[in-house]
Amino acid sequence: MNQYLSSASLKSLAKGQLLGKYGILTGILAMHILCTVPVSFSLSPLSGASTLLYCAASYVISLLSGFFIAGESFVYLKLACSQRPVLNDLFCCLTQGGAKAVKVLRIQSILAGISVLCTLPYTYIGNSLMKSILNAEPSFDVIPFDPALFLAYTILLVVGSAVDIFFTLLFSQIYYLMFDFPEYSESQLFKMSMQLIKGNKARLFYIELSFLPLMILCVMSCGIGFLWLFPYMEATYANFYLDLIRKQSAVRK
């Protein structure tokens, strides 16, 4: 009987594949940060603006970030397949022809749209809540916000985040599939991602949560540790994808 690899086994594979390659992977990560973080910071001035303007800007930034997300999927898929990645792999969707770039835009437009729709309700309530707090007169006797509004914000935050996480897990394999099956259309890739992850969403979520202690340590190191942790996480996720593919192939045989 074919068993899925455990979280520990996937991490062990990732560690072995990363040996001697941290230099190029750190360079790829640094390039990604340099290209995306300044754009993300541009959202800060909009946080106090209208909710629709903020969400529209978030959507555009998320749409453009799809090229880097897909590029990193390609980088770590190569790593998991015992190939040596190079810096240009990060931009593969922009350098391998317009068809692939268009496919990434179409895929990311749906993923970004789902994320924005999940965050829009609690972002709107959150802005209203923040305005009421800022406009309230300082007092120890009166709560500076409407409790009902705060309750609505909390509920929408929890529900929206849960739905966002669900869809993130559901379509988590789509960019790996795009590179493995370049002939597939966007709709076929979405369907295949759902089929591939079926019964494994909780397993992937557990693997993601298992990195939480290391994330805390990285924060305590002023973020420097993420230069080591991020490649480790991404390599583990790429091996998770290959494990799903191998299992599915074995079942079909």
Q: How far apart are CA 203 and CA 208, in angstroms?
A: 9
Spatial contact of 103 and 137, defined as CB atoms under 8 Å apart: no
- Write down the pLDDT at residue 42: 63
**pTM of this structure:** 0.89
Q: In the chain, what percentage of residues exceed pLDDT 90?
A: 62
Do residues 244 and 18 make contact, with C-beta atoms less than 8 angstroms apart? no
**What digits encode the pLDDT tens for the residues 2-41?**
689 999 999 999 999 999 999 999 999 998 888 877 766 6
Positive or negative, the CA dihedral 51, 55, 56, 58 is: positive
The mean of the pLDDT values for the chain is 88
Q: Which residues contact 89 (CB under 8 A, 6 or more apart)?
A: 28, 71, 74, 75, 78
Confidence of residue 57 (pLDDT cuts 50, 70, 90): confident
pLDDT value at position 97? Answer: 76
Q: What are the extents of the domains in the chain?
A: 7-252
| Integer Cα distance of 96 and 83 in angstroms | 18
Q: Tell me the pLDDT tens digit for each residue of 170-225.
A: 999 999 999 999 999 999 999 999 999 999 999 999 999 999 999 999 999 988 89
- Continuous segment of H or E residues that includes residue 100: helix 98-135
- Contact (CB, 8 A) for 231 and 17: no
